[in-house]
Amino acid sequence: MSASPLDGIDPTTPGTPESHTEALQRDIDLLTELHEQVLSEAGGAELLRIVRTLVDACREPASGRAGSEADVLVDSLDAATTAEVARAVTVHLHLTNLSEERQRVRSLRAEDGEFTGGIEAGGVASALAALSREGTSVLTRLQGLSIHPVLTAHPTEARRRAVTSALVRIAAQLDRYDDPHNGATERAHARRRLLEDIDILQRTSTLRRDRPEPRDEVKTMLSVFDQTLFRAVPRLYRTVEAALPGEEGRRGGRVPAFVRFGTWVGGDRDGNPYVTAAVTRETLTAQAHEALTLLASHADRVARTLTMDTVTTPPSDALHASLEADAVALPGTFAEIAKNSPGEPHRQKVLVVAARVEATLAEQVGLAYAGPEEMLADLHLVQDSLLAAGDHRSARGELQALIWLVETFGFHLAELEVRQHSHVHERVLLDLFAQLGPEHVADPEAAVADAEFLDRLAREGWPRHVSPSTDMGREVLDTIRVVAWLQKRWGRGSCGRYIISFTRRAGDLAAVRALARLAVGDRPLELDVIPLFETGEDLHNAPSILADLAELPGTQEVWAAQGRRVEVMVGYSDSAKDVGPASATLTLDRAERELVAWAAESDVQLTLFHGRGGSLGRGGGPLHRAIMAQPSGSVDGRFKVTEQGEVIFARYGDVMIGQRHLERLTSAVLLADAPQVASAREAAAERYRNLAEVVDAQSRGCYLALVGQEGFADLIAAVSPLDEIGDLRLGSRPSRRSGTDTGRSLADLRAIPWVFSWAQTRVNLPGWYGLGSGLSAVGDVELLRRAYAEWPLFASMIDVAEMSLAKADRALAERFLALGERPDLAHQILTEYDLARRLVLEVLDQEELLERKPHLRTAVGLRLPYIDALSLLQHKALRVLRLPVDPRREDRPDRAAWTQTLLLTVNGAAAGLQNTG
């Protein structure tokens, strides 16, 4: 590992700031030096030599081929040594990721949160200025703005929490070591601690021994709010406030709290038997405890700063009256507050607020707030009093930040959403209809698809009470009852969205309302049942399904109660697995346009909920550019999107990075439907409509011709660690929806392990397969280049494919594919790879991938030799495990040892590729 990880990266590449490369190089050099010292001190001199030799050999262009120096070295290693090498290389990749994250933070600090490059850079100031130039009232636009990230429990974070904790400690000591104000002694202490924590990291198993439970996932999710979001969100609002242009900025216009968070952690039971009604209730209880604890702490901190007295800052009559009421309602508490804060009424009131939040946490009757609205009323009372007294700075200072926190997070932290598969509701209804008998339901099979009948049950009630006879049925009804209880305890905003996976018809949505009527009767429950359209066929049928839904009387009642606000979720991952990445991109665009048209005809306010994965094969990639590529009217100031797995920690693991990510979301959503942007985008979409139709049809045909072949589902299992991924224990959810261990079905395979497995083989098929045939069918490179320059959707599709291809490796892919003993399929895949790579480069007018994306090129390039090393080690482990074993041979391989080694390489490659699933 002595060679520079940045070898081959030209620091003078146009667009690459020299300081970026130098600072990144300095961090990696130091951490590499310390890591090598740790390995040597642990008696690993020979291990260190092997790792250095292997990585240096993997820098050679042909290192992935059979018979290369790297391949010969790997072939000579036994299982134990292979595992040790994989562990050492994995640690190096974790340290590389840490170095790059630090560099991102340094860049943000140096540039004050704004990258150069204008609107495309995602700066809030440039977005607001652009809107102002178009004559738009920025404050009016902000009033209607809604940014709604939803954190999911999808198991794509391959790092253990112990590994993450060690990296956090290392980052803290690096900050201490780099601090220019620290002298030699302090730096020596920091270096000692760095060695200690790197030693711990090297000795810490990267593999989980036990599968996480949903409760563990909840703890991990809560840490994101505690460590990052409670600080990042007020900073976001401050950035927007400071960027208000012209007269609105001079007036100090109040920025509304336009961010809301959702979560599926503890609520997503689609294919996860471990998420129960009890888990959902416990999850929101834990969220509320976290929210109230944080709000009480912030309120107490703000209160202790409001030390202005009655002479300089007299209280308003309303504040004075409120304090008199508090003295009666909280005699003991208020007496102590008044004693410690004499003559400081504003401080007294906010201390009362803090005390009442703590009472809410302790569920003290008479002292607790009934909801966040009561807390906000008290805080606004203080703010109005300060403004009336002329103290604008205190009124709009940290007190305003506290108000933003309450408005954003409430007492529940994030809205807990429930998700379940449509087939589950169908099975439960069949059971219940069988109990009703033929006098009420003549044909149960037809009744479960009869939207009008189900809607009538939801509105009028069931003809007689029935109870489910299965655990599945009892769990579905208990879940709905828990949602009703949570709403009563924590308010409507705490839990109320119920998402239906694989929505195929209007009856799938009416079914949930019918089940809800059986579960809670006439008791209060506000349930927003949201369709999730995932497959290519369902996306195509989405407008007609919604049209059928709109005809139901119950639907119109619900929509009227919701102010005719309708939410529809579209899935990226399963649509890509269904029809291929290029066709899925164009299918989603077409479906969204049709949904926008349907919403306009139906007089509803549509919010599209984007189910994007973190990886490139699941709709990942640069989110700012993807938002700007959305069809006009599909955003309109409202954007809801899933954030999952390693993406959560990449975007929200650091306060400044989290703030910057939210800024980019904000600017993109503000600009997406700005007149000038929208008109240019729609003109381009119309100009290149025929091109899109050709790419769609040809790429889809190419993709289906591959995945539809007999034995294709067996191929991915043979050439990748698909079957072993479950042993990584990434999350609580099984890798297959059915939960079966036998049979090989592409439809049953979840998108996450599908993408994860292809990434490990270095084929990255879900990110590009079929695109080459689609581009080739157009047959006009100049036309394709113009489309890339003028049409954001097409540009986004090409950029995602470029990144996916950049992380692939043809030589390694060829060797992994050979393990499947299907040369016909391997040839088909590699031929399309060659075509896609050649045409993407032609469209981009480049010689090499990422040629014009220097930061990405650096990020990928500095990891590749290490990822290639792990890929070679993984290939050997797979080769050993896939070969038939003669039980009579005494020298047969230790399958348990090689399986463990395989998992280590999978974990390490995931850390390096940074796109698990």
What are the residue numbers of the active site? 154, 577
Using an 8 Å Cβ cutoff, are 500 and 531 in contact?
A: yes
Instruction: Enumerate residues 6+ apart whose C-beta is below 8 A from 860.
Output: 806, 807, 850
**Residue 806: which of 775, 770, 852 has the closest Cα?**
852
State whether the Cα torsion 501-504-509-511 is positive or negative: negative
Helices (H), 204-265: 214-224, 230-243, 246-250
State whether the Cα torsion 730-736-738-740 is positive or negative: negative
DSSP state of 227: I
**Residue 623: which of 632, 607, 612 has the closest Cα?**
612
104, two tokens? 């991102």
CA distance 479 to 495: 11
- Which CA distances in Å does 518 have to 423, 440, 451, 606, 651? 18, 15, 16, 29, 41
CA distance 178 to 172: 10
**Residue 196: which of 410, 35, 428, 393 has the closest Cα?**
35
Instruction: Enumerate residues 6+ apart whose C-beta is below 8 A from 884.
Output: none
Instruction: Enumerate residues 6+ apart whose C-beta is below 8 A from 483.
Output: 280, 418, 495, 496, 498, 525, 527
What pairs with residue 533 in β-bridges? Answer: 570
Strands laid side by side in the 146-152 sheet? 415-416, 262-263, 146-152, 638-644, 605-611, 565-571, 528-533, 497-501, 418-421
Q: For the chain, how big is the Rg over CA atoms in Å?
A: 29
531 C-beta neighbours (distance < 10 Å), count: 27
CA distance 817 to 763: 9
- Residue bearing tokens 């208020």: 334
